[in-house]
Structure 1
Amino acid sequence: MLHDPPARSSAPAPEPAALRPGEPRSIGPFRVRSRLGSGGMGDVYLGSTRKGQQVAIKLIRGAQLDDDEFRIRFRREVRAAAKVRSRFIANLVDADPEADLPWLATEYVAGPTLSQELAANGPLPQADVLNLVAGVAEALHGIHRAGLVHRDVKPANVILGPDGPRLIDLGVVAAVDATRLTLTGQAVGTPMYMAPEQATGSRPTAAADVWALGALAYYAATGNHLFEGDHPAVVLYRVSAEDPSYADSPEYLRAFLDALLVKDPERRPSLDAILRSLGVPDQAVAATLPAAGPPDLPSAGAGGR
């Protein structure tokens, strides 16, 4: 059955860092316990509620605080994240986009990211790859059902928690009809995991997340990225101009990748079809594949092309 705990011992969760002088000891209603990391838009802290629930708090800092457009988009992102609930997502707990230093808090998941796990222990075995892909597919199904697109599915945004994978960084989700730009005016996404249409500047749709899911599955099974290069621009060119090569993929995954890694986004399968192919039960399946799409996906693990 999918979603059983991983069979092998995972890499340990990264150790939070002690708070430095001048860092906040509380954010909103949360007590700040330690630092989890930093990014281009601010810092992430481990916090807790009065009842002891642990949360990850993203605190926004930097020049974007004086940008009215940033504030508008951050409010939009908080509203979008609040619309999605899934057992395979680090769900939103609370947020204050109006604070002097805006913040949002999500469920804290203890565990390594997929990239940290592979760096420590190498590619995942077949059962774990299928568990991972099914969990992330369920997370994306919830996001798409809410009329949203994640836009940045990648190994660093998947945490291997004790009860299954969790997709994080819902701060980049957007409505399907929203602008394709980030808060800093750059196209959203990580070049190695962008769909071809995303790499050329088109507004990403749910099909872009499907492509990224295929790229994620390939990485989990092999430890390799579909496209690499010394500069993001080189990677973007390769994504948009070259066909993906995954000849080193395990045989059980080939047909699955053949279906997801199709350059034409209209021909990629829906999340409903993907979940069916992975044997995920109790799905309310409506439309399956686009009329012009490939035939129904074979069961994952069946092998063959």
Structure 2
Amino acid sequence: MTAASATPAAIADYEIVRMLAEGNNGRFYLARPPARLGLAEEFVALKVFGDRIGEQAYERGVRELRAFAAVRSPHLVRVFDAVLDDRFAYAMEYLPLGSLAAPAQPLPMPTVMVVLEHAARAAHALHEAGLAHGDITPTNVLLADEGDGRIGGRLSDLGLARLLSPGNTLTGLGRATSVEFMDPDLLAGARPSRRTEIWALGATVHRALSGAGLFGELPDAQPLLAIRKVLAGAPQLHPGLPPEVAELVGECLAAGDARITSAREVADRLAQMSST
């Protein structure tokens, strides 16, 4: 079945226009929101999870989304609604410029740094509210038109898989290449935290500014092999990174007390770099 033939005409009371992308644990659709939401936006992005879930998992997901939506940060994507119609779905603002993983147009390095800075500030806001995003990757850093030709960043796609499918193994939490952005402590059973998300920010900065992975290119179709490669090796910084970026990434990945302790510090250093 092709992606086009598999695209439904509607999901719950959302009119589906087309599929935008296939991401971790589900698909993103461009959709027209129902009138009940009273939105000025003509379109929203609707994420639909691939697995069927029950009422309890739905309630957990809604609680997490409400907490996410309550955090006050201009750099978090806006969440509008959550529905359960055969599968769990939630609606968020539609940002047509793409993501750091797939931008609609080439981005100069200073702009990429600004977008990364905004993602780090969003992560800090979540952390201050007692939340962990759980899935910080370039795919989940969206590009927003800030006006006057400026492009900013929005952190999106909260990692709800750990709540909706708590029994899943790590290989079921997304594409194998997502392992690149996971602190190895998570692979050993740790829960997402400020500390593990600093690692994810460092890996995201590295990929966005170098185009390379910390562990080379991981086999997307072989998740166990990808995990084995990460656990067996040490992250390698790309030699083409500017020295100040390499230093920042190294401190995001550092062991023990040498690791940066807050996403705000990551953001501040990126802001300083982008302005020089």
TM-score range for the pair, normalised by the shorter chain length: 0.7 to 0.9
Deviation (angstroms), 1:146: 1.7
2:87 maps to 1:96:
no
Q: Which runs of structure 2 are paired with 1:1-305 in the superposition (5 Å)?
A: 20=5, 23-25=8-10, 27-28=12-13, 30-38=14-22, 41-49=25-33, 50=35, 51-53=39-41, 54-60=43-49, 62=51, 64-65=52-53, 67=54, 70-97=57-84, 99-117=85-103, 121=106, 125-163=108-146, 164-172=152-160, 182-183=165-166, 185-187=168-170, 188=173, 190-228=178-216, 229-230=218-219, 231-248=222-239, 249-264=241-256, 267-279=259-271, 299-300=272-273
Going from structure 1 to structure 2, the CA distance change for 1:103 and 1:263 (only over 3 Å counts) comes to: same
Going from structure 1 to structure 2, the CA distance change for 1:131 and 1:262 (only over 3 Å counts) comes to: same
Instruction: Report % sequence identity.
Output: 28
Separation of aligned partners in 2, 1:24 and 1:265: 52
Note the residue ranges of structure 1 that are not aligned, 5 or more in a row.
1-16, 280-298
Going from structure 1 to structure 2, the CA distance change for 1:235 and 1:264 (only over 3 Å counts) comes to: farther
C-alpha contact 1:89 1:168 (8 A) present in aligned 2: yes
Separation of aligned partners in 2, 1:216 and 1:156: 9
Give the 3-state SS of the residue equivalent to 1:208 in structure 2: helix
Going from structure 1 to structure 2, the CA distance change for 1:39 and 1:127 (only over 3 Å counts) comes to: closer
The answer for the alignment partner of 2:149 in structure 1 is none
Going from structure 1 to structure 2, the CA distance change for 1:172 and 1:87 (only over 3 Å counts) comes to: same
TM-score with structure 1 setting the length: 0.70
C-alpha contact 2:25 2:161 (8 A) present in aligned 1: no
Separation of aligned partners in 1, 2:209 and 2:160: 26
Give 1 or 2: higher helix fraction: 2
What amino acid is the match of 2:273? A
- Give the paired residue count: 256
Deviation (angstroms), 1:266: 7.3
Deviation (angstroms), 1:268: 2.6
Any idea what the Cα deviations from partners look like across 1:246-268, whole Å, max 9, x if unmatched?
A: 14122231221222111337733
C-alpha contact 1:78 1:171 (8 A) present in aligned 2: no
C-alpha contact 1:47 1:56 (8 A) present in aligned 2: yes
**Which segments of structure 1 move beyond 6 Å, counting only runs of 4 or more?**
none
Larger radius of gyration: 1
- Provide the aligned C-alpha RMSD in A: 3.4
TM-score with structure 2 setting the length: 0.76
Going from structure 1 to structure 2, the CA distance change for 1:265 and 1:219 (only over 3 Å counts) comes to: farther
Separation of aligned partners in 2, 1:170 and 1:185: 17
